[in-house]
Structure formats: C-alpha cells, structure tokens
Structure 1
C-alpha cells in the first residue's frame, strides 16, 4: 500500500452550532463545512436517505465494528443519555455563601466524539481484489484498536467503529462517548491540551492574549503528536507516509520515490518481524527438546536404578542373605538378615542401604529421603512424596500388598 495517511477528528453537540441568519438552515464552521448535530452524524454513519446523498449507490452497507454497542439505535440512545447528564457547578448565594447546583448538559456542549481514518485505496479496487480488501480491512481494524486504547485511557468509552464502502476512498469512523461526564472535550487531545494550558496561564496571571496564544500552540502540538503517534503505531508499518507531497514540496518523481521507499521499509519490517518470530519459535522448540532430553535421561536413570534394586533384592532373597521375618509381638513383619548374610558390619550396612532402594523401587522408584520423615519415625530410610505424589512417604503413603509375601515384606521393611 502506497500513499500517505489521513486521520481526522471532530466533536459534535446535540444542538450543533446556531445558524448565522434566518435564511441559513445549518451553521457553518470556520472552515466552511456544515456544522452537523450529533444525531445527524449518526444518520450519516447509518446511511439514512436524507444524510447520504453523497454516497455511491449499489455498494455494500456500512460494516460495524462493535464496541459498547453493536447497532445504530443503541448508539442513538447512548448519545441522548450522555447529552442528558446533569452537571454540578458552584454558585454564590445572595448572602455570600457558596453552594452547588445541578443542571442538564448544555445543548451546544460536545457530547459525541468522532474520528475518521481514510486509506489511499479506492473502494472499487478493494471490492474487486480480495487480497487488497483483506489488507485494507486489517489496517482499518488496527487503526480502530489504536484509537480505542487512546480513548479509554483518556476516560471515554469506545462505542463502535464503522467502515464505509460507498465513497471514493475506503475509510472508517471511530465513535466514542463519555456516559459519566457527558462532555467529550477531554477525548480530543488538542482541546484537552489547550484547556490545561489556559488554566495554567490563568494561574500565572497572564494576559488573555498570551493565554490564547499559548493555548493555540498547545492545541497544534497535541494534534501533531496524535498524528505522529498514529503513523508510528499503525500506518508506518503499512508503508504509508506521514505527510503528502505538498508538505515537503516534492515533485511527482520525488514523491513517487518516497512512496516506494516507504513501501520497501514496510516490507523489510514485515520480513524482519517474520524472521524474529521464526527465531523465537525455534528457540522455544530447542528449549522444549532440551527438556524432553533431560526428562528422558532422568527416566532412564530411574529405570536403571529400579532394575538394579529389584535384581539385588531377588538375588539376596534367593541366596538367603535376606529372609522373610514373620510378625512378632515386639516387632512387625519384615525382612531380616539371613543365614548367608555377611558378618561384617560394613557389608551389612551396605546391604541395608540397597534393601531400602528395593522398597523405593517397588513403590515408585525414588531413592532420596525426607528428613522430616526420618526424624519423626523410629524406622529409618523411608522415601518421601515431597517431590511427586507417590506411596513412598511414610506419612501419606497408601500401600497395597501383593499376593507375594516376600514382595510385601521387602516393600514394608524398606
């Protein structure tokens, strides 16, 4: 997509601006445009007959991007409710005391915010080319989302977005209200900056002329910042220029080269983003593979340890180094050293350690000890379920005996 960005915003009141004379049906703004009312703006968005004489007939209907509302009747009702908000204001009584009164929002107070974003794409071209249409709609949706975040940060509510397909260039409207305050002047960055500067000038006791001059400068700075932010966040990535050819006093050839350069930068940025995404995915896959390898090594080591423990237990029972000890009054059933057990204390301690691993292998394959369990029991050498739930913990274990008396005794005695 080539060209330059277009973004504009405006505020509208329930009454609109008063007409200049009895012969004027509608007032004119300073720029010569008609001063629309809030409800007339909604009529134009909806494409009602009396408000859409400028559109191209036979084109698709307005496409609504839902916000707080998803249809025009609800938008009308929300605007009327916002314009009916009662404001509190201070006043001085006759006796000099201070008090507050409430009154309905002035009819000429701005109560609806509307911004428009237009693309350098002819609507008929977008309708005829599915790829261009999808690209254009995606860019408009990004614009709407960008404005929505700014509006909500400023204290307003995003009501809906509307994409129009029936004018020369494809464009979208962003509509916002403030259901709490009614007024929406604070949603307009230019007006908000100017009001702040005017209040600051009054506090500094500047002259009215100086205050207005500083306020106008703050208004222009804020609007330029809004356009710059829009370009860096949305349009630059799509290959659109911030300014048109007249601003830079470019010839047609220079402007064409500038557009081509912007498109190339956008393509490079998209390619770079894809590369970074692919690299991030590859890094995630590498980490996942490393985790799986480590898990496999742990499982293999655990399995090896279990096999060795079970082989030792079987060999010890068969060689009668360990024998089954039936239950007695003073001792529970379990395992004891058999007639062929070594006499050396060192060797017997070694066998006792391996015997503990036999029980661990029978109950889950863990060979480490829980110090709390060891210190709280007379019998030493129990494993724990602290790392993973298993029947190894002497406090929480649930042991199910098998049909083999030797198997059961080995497990209990470990």
Structure 2
C-alpha cells in the first residue's frame, strides 16, 4: 500500500453488524476495548502489544469513563402516543462515539527492522494527521489517539465524544452524516423508502384467574388442580400464538427486505446521499493536501483507476519525489525566513546604533554651541575690559581720576558709567571683573605713590560702597 487511508465512523452502545457478516458486530464498548488492546477484543491480533497514546485530551481509559459518566447523567424528553411527556435515558443505539482510523503504508515489520530511521517518517505522519484532526473538529470535543504497531500496517485510532452536545451527538462530527442532515433540514424532505406494513399479530389469550380460597381443604385442592391445568393450557396457547407471530414477522422481514432492495434499484438517486458522498470526497481531498501529499502518499489506490503494476509504481515514485520536493521547499522557506529574520535583526541593530550615534552628535553639537557662546561672551567682555582699561589709564594720565583713602572719583561721566558696569555686583564672578579690580588696585598704588598720599589698603572694595553713585 502506497496510498492514504482514512476511515470515519460513529458508534452507539448497541451492537451493530459490520457489512454482510452478521457474526461480526461493533459497538462503542468493542471499539474502546480494541483501542486499549483488551484481550477479549484483540482476538484478531496474533501478538497484541500495548497501545501507545500519541495525543488527545484524555487517555482511552479516561475517555471511556468520561463517556459513561455523561451517558448516566443525560435524560431526554419523549412524547408518547397519548401526548404525555416523560424523561428517559438515551437510546442504546444513539450514536455517541466518533472514531477515525488512519493507516500508513509502512508495515510494522519494516518499522521494527530500522526503527531509528523509520520512526521519523511515522512521527511526521502522526504530527500531520493529529494537527489536521484538531483543525477539522469543533471546539469542546474530548478525544484520545493511540498508535498500534502489532498488525500488518502501522495505524492510529482516534476516538472522540461531542461533550458540548446535550445528547453527545457524534453524527455532527461525521462530515458525511452532518452534510446529509443539513440537506434534509434545508429541503424538509426525506428519501427514506417506506417499509411494508407489518402483519397483524395474534393476541395472547387471557390468563386464567386464580380461584378464591375455599373453606374446605378438599375444595381448595380441587380448585388448585383445575387452576394449574388451566395455566398449563394457557401457556401452551401462548406458545402457539408466539410461534405464529414469529413466523409472520419472519415472513414480513423477508418480504420487506426484498421490497427495499427492489426499491433501491428503481430509485435513481438520493439527494442527501449525494451530499454525503460529496462531503466524504471533500474529506479525502483535504486529507491528501494536509497529510497524504506531504508524506508522499497517493490520493487513490491502483484499483480506483485500474492501473497496472508498472503504472502504480511510477505513481508511487512520483508521489515520493513530490514529498521530498515539498520537504525541500519547506526547508528552504525556513532557511529563507531565518536569513530574513537575521537581516532584520541586523538592520534594527544598525538603525539603533545610528540613532544612538546621532544622539551623541547632537549632544556634542549642543556642547560646542554652548562653549562657542561662552567664548563669544568672554571675548566681548574682554574687549569691553580693554576699552575700559585704556580709558581708565588715559583718565589717570590726564588727572581725571582722584583716589582717596576709601576709593576714587572720576570727573568724566562716560568713563564713570563704563566703570560702574564693570563694578556691577552681578559681574562679580566674571574673569573680566577680577582683572579690572586688580587693574584698579595697581593704578591706585601707582597714583598714591607718585602723589604722596598715605598708603591705601589693596583689599577688595566693600560691597556697600560699590552701590554708591560716583564709584
């Protein structure tokens, strides 16, 4: 086998025959037992191995217990023929378990021969089918998946219950049955073939009444014997009626089966069956795109297209090559994505470094601009100082400056205003102010020494004298 295989089915608690074999029956209990590899349900396997859980919300054992608990708590309302409403448990034939069987073309013997290499193939197949199952199923289901490696081919079982549904309706998870149900609901029609009317059954005779208790012992014994004889005759009559009714029912079943077969042959098509088939084909197509093609599996087997052995082998090689190409493309995509991510990271880092460098340059430009402004202010101050010193020196030479023990006076008002600017308290911390103060002290010593005035202290001028006019 080199093609895909997926089979979906729903089950209830009541046993149901499989195909035309009446001896082979399936039920939810049987499906759970086979998935868990219980001995009584694994007679078809020569050497049963423990099932390996590969996914799901529960293990198979937990899922079986969960389903039993939900079934015990569910009650459905039923309206009788008389119009009365009552509650009862779900019918045993209610479809409450959804299953899927996925088979891989690799044989279990081949898997065991080279397990280290072949397990990667099986793991890839399992990962794809489990992811596809989760994408196809609605939210709220509870499920379990197991892998079997003790039969001819490696295969997986998926069991699920529709826990959010009030009746655990598994048919809503079955894409084919769900499509048929939607079609019937939309068109309000049913193509079910009506059966033949059932035969009229014989009624059982009335049961003899038990005699009243007599006073005499002999009468009681006689009445008891008559009652026992009547009961015996009644049981014989009931047996004959039952046998006759069974005979009529057997004849009706045979005639009804023949009637249904002929009606199916004469029927052209069933609309809901077409919806069912279309949904199942769509499932196979989707499964091939999601699982079969990446794993190198064919969509159809050789008997579907009546291919020869050579043609089928060619198709198989093409599918394997396609799977390898898909794998290579995915690898190249991953490498390209990783390279693009690396380039994006480097670009972001480069932009970040440029922004940091630009911020540092802006700070440096701001510092340079501040220093330039400071130097400009200092140069301007020293230019004014130079002018003031020249004017002060000229005034001293012309005798326009008069020093005393507490200070000096200028007769030229222009020079007085300029000197007041330099002696302003707001400029006490500037280098120009300090230089000008030293210059004044030097002139004071020179003038006092040349004129014969008493020596004057060279300490700084008191702050209260700086604010007086004329200084």
Shorter-normalised TM range? 0.5 to 0.7
Matched, 1:279 2:336: yes
Task: For residue 276 of structure 1, report the CA deviation from its aligned partner.
Answer: 2.2
Question: Is the 2:297–2:316 Cα contact (8 Å) retained in structure 1?
Answer: yes
Q: How far apart, CA to CA, are the structure 2 residues paired with 1:160 and 1:91?
A: 36
Q: 1:268 to 1:249 in 2, by over 3 A?
A: same
Distance change >3 Å, CA 35–CA 236, structure 1 → 2: same
Q: Deviations over 1:57-94 (max 9, x none)?
A: 275x2111242213x33122112123335354463785
Matched-pair contact (CA < 8 Å) for 2:76–2:90: no
- What residue number does 1:8 align with? 7
1:178 aligned residue: 162
Structure 1 equivalent of residue 100 of structure 2: 115
Distance in 1 (alpha carbons) for counterparts of 2:72 and 2:286? 33
Deviations 1:25-54 (A, max 9, x none): xx4444667222212211111111111122
Q: Does 1:298 align with 2:298?
A: no
Distance change >3 Å, CA 301–CA 287, structure 1 → 2 = same
User: Structure 1 residues 183 and 30 mapped into 2: Cα distance closer, same or farther (>3 Å)?
Assistant: farther
Residue by residue over 1:109-143, the C-alpha shift from the partner in whole angstroms, topping out at 9 and shown as x without a partner, is: 11111110000001121123212112212212321
- 1:219 equivalent among 262, 276, 282: 276
CA distance change for structure 1 residues 218 and 292 in 2, over 3 Å: closer, same or farther?
A: same
Q: Kindly tell me: are residues 182 and 84 of structure 1, through their superposed partners in 2, closer, same or farther at Cα, counting changes over 3 Å?
A: farther
Q: Per the alignment, do residues 93 and 56 of structure 1 end up closer, same or farther by CA in structure 2, a change over 3 Å counting? A: closer
Return the alpha-carbon distance in structure 1 between the equivalents of residues 181 and 192 of structure 2. 15
CA contact (8 A) 1:87 1:105 kept: yes
Q: 1:204 to 1:170 in 2, by over 3 A?
A: closer
**CA offsets, 1:328-362, max 9 Å, x none?**
xxxxxxxxx983599xxxxxxxxxxxxxxxxxxxx
- Does the aligned pair in 2 maintain the 1:66–1:161 contact within 8 Å? yes
Q: 2:153 aligns with which of 166, 169, 176?
A: 169
Which residue of structure 2 lines up, in the alignment, with residue 372 of structure 1?
A: none
CA distance in 2, matches of 1:200, 1:207: 19
User: Structure 1 residue 278: deviation in Å?
Assistant: 2.0
Quote the Cα distance in structure 1 between the aligned partners of 2:97 and 2:48. Answer: 29
- Give the corresponding residue for 1:40: 30
Distance in 2 (alpha carbons) for counterparts of 1:187 and 1:243: 24
* TM-score calculated relative to the size of structure 2: 0.59
Cα distance 1:160–1:241, how it changes in 2: closer, same or farther (>3 A)? Answer: same
Residues 78 and 30 of structure 1, relative CA distance in 2, 3 Å threshold: farther
SS of the residue aligned with 1:55?
coil
The count of corresponding residues between Structure 1 and Structure 2 is 312
Who is 2:87 aligned against?
Answer: 102
Deviates more, 1:169-178 or 1:201-210: 201-210
Residues 90 and 75 (structure 1), Cα distance of their counterparts in 2 relative to 1, 3 Å cut: closer
| Superposed CA offset, 1:143-175 (max 9, x none) | 12212322225xx61411000111110010111
Question: Does the CA-based 8 Å contact 1:197-1:211 persist in structure 2?
Answer: no
Q: Distance in 2 between matches of 1:341 and 1:63?
A: 97
Are the equivalent residues in 2 in contact too, given 1:117–1:173 (CA < 8 A)? yes
2:324 matched to which residue of 1? 267
Does the 8 Å CA contact 1:13/1:37 hold for their aligned counterparts?
A: yes
Greater than 6 Å deviation, 4+ residue runs: 204-212
Shift of 1:246: 0.5
Tell me the distance in 2 between the aligned counterparts of 1:207 and 1:113. Answer: 27
- Relative to structure 1, is the Cα distance of residues 163 and 28 closer, same or farther in structure 2, using a 3 angstrom cutoff? closer
Are the equivalent residues in 1 in contact too, given 2:295–2:323 (CA < 8 A)?
Answer: yes
Pick the structure with more helix per residue. Answer: 2
Q: TM-score, normalised by structure 1?
A: 0.67
Unaligned runs of 5+ in 2: 195-262, 385-428, 431-471
Partners of 2:128 and 2:142 lie apart in 1 by 14
Q: Does 1:321 align with 2:377?
A: yes
Q: Is the CA contact 1:86–1:102 (under 8 Å) kept in the aligned structure 2?
A: no
Over residues 236-256 of structure 1, what are the superposed CA-to-partner deviations in whole Å (9 max), with x where a residue is unaligned?
111110001010111000000
Q: Secondary structure at the match of 2:177?
A: helix
3-state SS of the aligned residue for 1:273? Answer: helix
Match of 1:54 among 20, 25, 44: 44
Work out the CA distance in 1 between the residues paired with 2:377 and 2:21: 106
Change beyond 3 A, Cα 1:206–1:35? closer
Q: Secondary structure at the match of 1:35?
A: strand
Matched residue SS, 2:293:
helix
Secondary structure of the structure 2 residue equivalent to 1:84? helix
CA deviations 1:267-315 (Å, max 9, x no partner) are 1122122222222222222222222222222222221222233344456
Matches of 1:260 and 1:101 in 2, distance apart?
62
Q: Which residue of 2 aligns with 1:124?
A: 109
